[in-house]
A and B are shown apart, each in its own frame.
Chain A
Amino acid sequence: MTAPLEARAIRVERGGRPVLDRVDFALRTGECVGLIGPNGAGKTTLLRALLGLQPVSAGRVLLEDRPIEAWEPSARARRLAYLPQQGGQAWPVRVERFVSLGRLPHLEPWRGPGPTDREAVSRAMAAADVTALADRPVTALSGGEQARVHLARALAVEAPLLLADEPTAGLDPYHQLQLMARLRALARRDGRAVVVVLHDLTAASRFCDRLCLLNAGAVAADGPPRTVLTPERLAAVYGVTPAPHPLPESAVLPWRCIDETRRDDDAA
C-alpha cells in the first residue's frame, strides 16, 4: 500500500528543547490512524508538522513523495484537510456559509462556489449532522454543535487526507460514536486516509485501524490497537491500568489510577 503522507525522522524544537525527536510516521490510503499519547506528548505538533504548518529542524515530511513545503498551498490544501483542536469562529457567520469555507481551495480566482461545491457542502453537513443548523449563526451554537460544524467544514474540503485534532472533545456520547464511525467509513468505504488525535482509548481501539502512541516527543508504539494498548505500555506512558473483569467497583471508566501522584493526567 502506498503512503501518501509520510514523516521521516522529523525533529521539532521549541525554545531549544525538542518537542518531537526522530519521529517516523506514515499514513496509508484507506486507513484510520489514531494518534494517542498523554498531554504534552507532541500529538498536535506532529499533526501540524504533517500539514506543513510547523517547520521541522531535521527530517522531512513528504506529501505524495514531494516535500510538503514544496507544494503550492492551495494544491496542498485540496489534498490535506485539517480540523484544528480549537476551532476559531471570528464572526457570527451562518453555518452553511461557514461550512462552505472548506471549499476555498477548490475555487477559481474571483469566482464563488459552483454546484459541485454546494453538493460537497451539503454532503459534509449531512455527515456531521448539522444540516438542521444551516441558517443559525455559528457563534450562537453550543460547544458540541460548533465542534460538529467545524468537522463539517473540514469534511467539505473532500480531501483524500484528513487530519483531525481531538474532534470528539465536547461531543455527547451519541455524536462521539457517530463521528468516529463516520471517520472510519471515510477511510474504509471512501478510500481516504484519516489521522485522528484521541484521548478516549476505548474509542481509539474500537474505531482505529492503527494507533500511534507518542510519549515525550517520540513514538512509543505504532501498530494495531491490540498490540499498542498493552497493560505495560499503558502503565508506563499514561500511568493507568485496565480494570479487571468483572469490575470490582461501580466504575464508569474501564481504567483507574495506579498511584495518587499520577492521578491527574496533566501531572506528567
Chain B
Amino acid sequence: MSATILDAPRRAEPPFGLLLAGLGAAALVAAGIGLLGDRLSADAVAGFAALLGTHPDAAWDILIEVRLPRVLLGAMVGVTLGLSGAALQGWLRNPLAEPGLIGASAAAALGAVIAFYFGIADWLRFALPAGGTLGALVGLGALLLLVGRDPSTLTVILAGVAVSAFAAALTQLALNLAPSPYAALEVITWMMGSLANRSLEHLWLALPLTLVGWALLAGTGRALEALTLGEDAARSLGVRLDRLRWRIILGVGLSVGAAVSVSGVIGFVGLVVPHLLRPLCGYSPSRLLPASALGGAALVLVADAAVRTLSPGPELKLGVVTALIGAPFFLMLLRDVRRRGA
C-alpha cells in the first residue's frame, strides 16, 4: 500500500551518529536563537541586551521565566510529536500516520476545552493541562474499547477516526454552548497552538506524563523493526503485538495529551519529520525513533523562534505556521505518488 510512496530515489545515508549529532545541533542552535533573539519588528520594546544594561531584573525575568520555559516546552512538544509520529508510522506501516490519527490530539483538545468551558481553568490555574491529559487518556480508553481485542491496524485507524471525529464534535458543541463569546474566542485561539507566554509551571505539570510516554515509546524500536516484515513474521521473531499496541497507544496518549494541553494543537510535525528523516535512517524504524525525536524538537524550536522573532504585529500562532509548512507536504507526497503511477 504505502511502499509505492516510499520508493523514492535513494538518498545517501549518512552515518547514524552524525545524523543524530546534526539534528541535535540544529535543535540547540534554534534553542539559542529562542533564548537570545529579539523580535525584529518590536521597535517600542527594548531588546534583551539593551534591557540587560538598564534593567537587569526585567532582562533575567524575560530569559528565565519567559524564554526558557518556552524553549524547553518547544523541545518537549517537538520530541513528543516526532517520536509519536515515528512510532505510529512504524507500527501502522503507513507514512501518513501521525498523533492526530489515533484521536489523541482531538481528545486532549476536548479535555482542555471542557476545563475552559466549566470555568475550572478560572479558579484552578492548572486545570487546563490536567484537563488536556485527562482528555487524551479518556480518548485512548475509548479507542481501546473500540479496538477490542483485534490489534489490526485498520481497526485502530478506524477507531482513531471515530474518536477524533467525536471529540471534535463535542469540542464544537462546547464552543456552541460557551457561557461567553469571549470564552469561545479564547478556546479557538488556544486551539491554534502556541508556546507563547507559558511558564515553567506548565513544564513541571506536563513533564512527568511526557517522560512516561517517551519511555514507553523508546522501547518499541526492535518490535517496529520486526514489523517491517509484516505481523506474522514479526510475531514469529518474538514480538508481542498486543504489548506493542499498549505501549504505543499509552505512550502517544500520555505524551501527546500533555503536549496538547500546554501548547494547543500543533499539527504536521509528527507527520513531516519522520517522513523526511526516514531515508536518512536507511528506512530503519528503530533508528527513526531517536532521529525523529531530535528532528521534531529542532523543527518546533526553529518554527517557534521564527514566529517569535519574525512576526509583524501580533505574534503568529505556531500551530498555524506548522500547518502552513505541513499542508504543501501532502502535495509533495501526491506528486511522488502520481509520478510513480504514470
> A contacts B directly in the complex (CB < 8 Å)?
yes
Chain A residues engaging chain B, CB cutoff 8 angstroms: 48, 51, 53, 73-78, 80-84, 86-94, 97-98, 101-102, 104-105, 107, 137, 139-140, 150, 153, 157
CA distance A159 to B23 in the complex (A): 39
Chain B residues engaging chain A, CB cutoff 8 angstroms: 2-3, 6-8, 10, 93, 222, 225-233, 235-240, 278, 282-285
B32 → chain A, closest Cβ, in Å?
31
Residues of A within 8 A of B232 (CB): 48, 53, 82, 84
CA distance A73 to B235 in the complex (A): 8
B228→A101 contact, CB < 8 A: yes
Give the residue name and chain of the A residue nearest to B236 (CB): A82
B6→A139 contact, CB < 8 A: yes
CA distance A81 to B3 in the complex (A): 25
Residues of A within 8 A of B229 (CB): 84, 87-90, 101, 150, 153
A77→B284 contact, CB < 8 A: no
A51→B236 contact, CB < 8 A: yes
B230→A88 contact, CB < 8 A: yes
Q: Please give me the 5 A-B residue pairs with the lowest Cβ-Cβ distance, nearest first.
A: A88-B230, A74-B238, A77-B238, A82-B236, A91-B283
A137 → chain B, closest Cβ, in Å?
6
CA distance A256 to B182 in the complex (A): 82
B233→A87 contact, CB < 8 A: yes
The number of inter-chain residue pairs (CB within 8 angstroms) is 95
**Would you give 30 A-B contacts (Cβ < 8 Å), ordered by A?**
A51-B235, A53-B235, A53-B236, A77-B238, A78-B238, A81-B236, A84-B229, A84-B236, A86-B230, A88-B228, A88-B231, A90-B2, A90-B228, A90-B229, A90-B230, A91-B6, A91-B285, A94-B282, A97-B282, A97-B284, A101-B226, A101-B229, A101-B237, A104-B225, A104-B238, A105-B238, A137-B7, A139-B7, A150-B229, A157-B237
CA distance A93 to B228 in the complex (A): 9
Q: Do A92 and B236 form a contact, CB below 8 Å, given A87-B230, A104-B222? A: no
Residues of B within 8 A of A137 (CB): 7, 10, 283
Give the residue name and chain of the B residue nearest to A135 (CB): B10
CA distance A76 to B237 in the complex (A): 8
CA distance A87 to B229 in the complex (A): 6
A93→B282 contact, CB < 8 A: yes
CA distance A74 to B234 in the complex (A): 11
CA distance A150 to B236 in the complex (A): 13
Residues of A within 8 A of B225 (CB): 101, 104
CA distance A75 to B240 in the complex (A): 13
CA distance A157 to B284 in the complex (A): 19
CA distance A211 to B271 in the complex (A): 50
Other 20 A-B pairs with CB < 8 A, given A82-B232, A82-B236, A139-B7: A53-B235, A73-B240, A76-B238, A77-B236, A84-B232, A87-B229, A87-B230, A88-B230, A89-B228, A90-B227, A91-B3, A91-B93, A93-B283, A101-B229, A104-B222, A104-B237, A105-B238, A107-B222, A137-B283, A150-B229
CA distance A86 to B222 in the complex (A): 21
Q: Do A84 and B238 form a contact, CB below 8 Å, given A92-B7, A93-B284, A97-B284? A: no
A89→B3 contact, CB < 8 A: yes
Q: Do A139 and B236 form a contact, CB below 8 Å, given A88-B229, A104-B226? A: no
CA distance A91 to B94 in the complex (A): 9
Q: Do A91 and B278 form a contact, CB below 8 Å, given A82-B236, A137-B7? A: yes
